[in-house]
Amino acid sequence: MGWIVVVCPSLTFSHAGERELCTAKISANRAKKNDVRKICSERELIVWHYDSLPAYLLWVLMSQQLSGVLFGLAAFVVWGFLPAYWKQLHAVSPFEILCHRIIWSCVFLCVIISIQKRWQEVGQIVRESANLKKLSCSGLLIGFNWFIYIWAVNTEHVVETSLGYYITPMINVLIGFLLLGEKFNRLQLIAILCALAGVSYSLFAYGGLPIFALTLAFSFAFYGYARKKIQVAPIPGLLIETSVLVVPALGYVLYRQIFFESLFLAQLNITLWLIGAGVATSLPLLWFAAAARKLKLSTVGILQYLAPTIAFSLGVFVYREPFDWHSAITFALIWMGVFIYCADSIKRARHLYQQ
C-alpha cells in the first residue's frame, strides 16, 4: 500500500522551544486526490508519495529527533577520536594547546558566520544582555572543562579523564530529572540503572575519590544544561562563548612567542595541527549544542557513552594501554543499558506511529 506523506515546510515550536517538522500521513488507497489537494492548499503543505519505504520508518526519518541524534553521534564520535589528534601535538605544552584551541575556534566560527551572513544575528544576541551573560557563563564553563582536561592529561591522569566522561551522562540524567522534569518509563529506568552500575563499578574498581573525573563530569554536564536553556542558535552562541576566552588566550600565545621558544610558526606541521585544533574543537561543540536543544538530556546522556568508549578502544587496541577484567565488566554493564534504552526508543516510535 502506498502512502502520501504530507510535510509542512515551515518550522514550528513545541516543547521547550525545540523545532520539529509537522507531519501527517494519508493512505493513498483511501484518500481521494481532491481531498489531498484541499488539505495541501489549506495548510500550505508539500506532498511526496512513497510505495516501498515503511510508513513508520518514514515517520522516524521525518522526526525532528533524528537530526538531534545525528548531531549527537557526530559530536561524540569526533570527541572519541580526539586523542589521536592530540597525539600529534605531544611536543607542545597543554596550556598553549588550550589557548590555540580557543583562538582558532573563534577564527573558524567567524568564517562560518561570514559565509552564512549571520552577523546581524550575532549583533542581536550581543544587544540582549540576558543572553550575553548566560553565554559568557557557558563559555567559562567549557573553557574550565578544557583546562581541567589538559591539566589532568599533563599530570598523567588519562584514565581518570576517561572515567569522567563515563560519569557525565549520569550527571545529564540527574540534571534532566531534577531541573527539567524529564520522566522515564520502566525500560528507560532499567537502562539508566545498568549504565549507572557500570560507572559505579568503575569507580569502585579504581578506588579513591576521582577529583579530575568529577570536575570534568559536572562542568560538561552543566554546559549542556546551559546551552539547552539559552535560546540562541548554536553557531552564533558558540562564537560569543569563545570570544569571552579569546583575549586572555591570545595574550598568552603572544607572551609565549615573544619571551619563550614556541613551536608555533617555527615548525610547519605543529603550526598546521594547532590551527586545525580550532576546527576539531568547534565542529563537535556545534553539533553537541544542536543535539542538546533537540533531544532530552537523558538521550544525550546515553549517546555520550560513545566518546569514552571510542577513546578507551583507541587506548587498548591502538596505543596498547592496559585493559583488565574490571574494564570488561564496566563496558558490559554500560552497553547493556545502551541496548535496552535504544530498544525502548524504537518500541515507543512504533507505538506512536500506530496511534
State yes or no: pLDDT of 109 exceeds 60.
yes
pLDDT tens profile 239-298: 999 999 999 999 999 999 998 888 999 999 999 999 999 999 888 877 887 787 777 766
DSSP H or E segment with residue 19: strand 19-27
CB environment 276-287: b (16+ within 10 A), e (fewer): bbbebbbbbbbb
pLDDT tens profile 303-318: 877 888 887 787 778 7
Query: Can you give the pLDDT at residue 256?
Result: 92
Query: Can you give the pLDDT at residue 208?
Result: 58
Phi, psi of 207 (to 5 degrees): 70, 160
| Extents of the domains making up the chain | 3-61, 66-350
State yes or no: pLDDT of 9 exceeds 60.
no
Q: Are 94 and 150 in contact (CB under 8 A)?
A: yes
How would residue 74 be classed by pLDDT, with cut points 50, 70 and 90? very high
| The model scores a pTM over 0.75 | no
How many Cβ atoms are within 10 Å of 33's Cβ, its own excluded?
9
Mutual angle of helices 94-116 and 119-127, in 10-degree steps: 110
Q: Which residues contact 236 (CB under 8 A, 6 or more apart)?
A: 113, 118, 121, 122, 125
Q: Which residue has the cell 564520535?
A: 77
Tell me how far apart the alpha carbons of residues 293 and 348 are, in angstroms, rounded to a whole number. 21
Q: Are 8 and 40 in contact (CB under 8 A)?
A: no
Q: Are 264 and 271 in contact (CB under 8 A)?
A: yes
Tell me how far apart the alpha carbons of residues 291 and 51 are, in angstroms, rounded to a whole number. 31
Tell me how far apart the alpha carbons of residues 226 and 352 are, in angstroms, rounded to a whole number. 30
State yes or no: pLDDT of 140 exceeds 50.
yes
